[in-house]
Amino acid sequence: MELTICHLYPELLNMYGDIGNVYILKHRAAQRGISIKVVNHTVGSAFSSQDTDVVLFGGGQDFEMSVVAEDIKNNMLAPLKSYIEDGGVTLAICGGYQMLGKNYITPEGNVIDGLGILPHYTEGGEKRLIGNFIFDYNGYDVIGFENHAGRTYIGDLKPLGKIKKGYGNNGEDGTEGLHYKNTYCTYSHGPFLSKNPLIADELIMKALEKRYGKVSLSPLDDEYEQSARRQLLKRFA
């Protein structure tokens, strides 16, 4: 079996080592005999939803995000929206998460249009929300690092999890991220999947099932990963 990861604009969107999410997926898939092909999607590239199994959408600085937004709107907005609506597996981190929404409202009241693929929106704040955080994902303690000035509001959409420590989407309503079909959005940098192997495996499983139908993943020896998680949870709690 083979899966194709489309890594969106890796030369522009790689805050806090988010490229590590690619390495984690490749490593955990390879241990199960699953081949991973990585396509680095750059400015001007074509996007094929039929040939893509996982999309990774990282975060970047304001200038880089504006370049990315313009290129997506000009070259791949319709197929990316179709991919997400059809249940394509997507992991969007921080700026990528914000950009999938309707807009970003600056502290001065200026409205910056997002991609509008999902209906959430973000308001800029004066204080940055920074630190290690923990949120509950279906009974699993997800560990991450957040650093964002934006406050994201998801309305009636399903959050990825509930905050146990930290700020999450906005520091007000106790939610973190967004989970829509097979799209996972989060403010967690770090990289996200290195601290949370259960979610890495879930992304692999969802992608395999969409491509090949019902499958099962063989368990891995995650003693090192679980030991690291225990230490981090103890330190952050």
Question: Residue 67 and residue 84: Cα distance in Å, rounded?
Answer: 21
Query: Is 189 an annotated catalytic residue?
Result: yes
Of 94, 120, 148, 185, the active-site residue reads 94
Catalytic-labelled residue, pool 7, 120, 148, 189:
189
Of 17, 27, 93, which Cα lies nearest the Cα of 55? Answer: 93
Any catalytic annotation for residue 148?
A: no
Cβ atoms of 67 and 20 closer than 8 Å: no
DSSP for 82-99, written as a single string: HHHHTT-EEEEETHHHHH
In terms of Cβ atoms closer than 10 Å to its own Cβ (0-12, 13-18, 19+), residue 62 is exposed
Q: In Å, how far are 98, 126, 137, 195 from 115, measured between CA atoms?
A: 9, 24, 26, 29
How many Å apart are CA 162 and CA 177, to the nearest integer?
9
Q: For residue 134, how many C-alpha atoms fall within 13 Å in the half-sphere facing its CB?
A: 13
Q: Which long-range contacts (CB under 8 A, 24 or more apart) does 126-131 make?
A: 129/166, 129/167, 129/171, 129/187, 131/166, 131/167
**Active site residues per annotation:** 94, 189
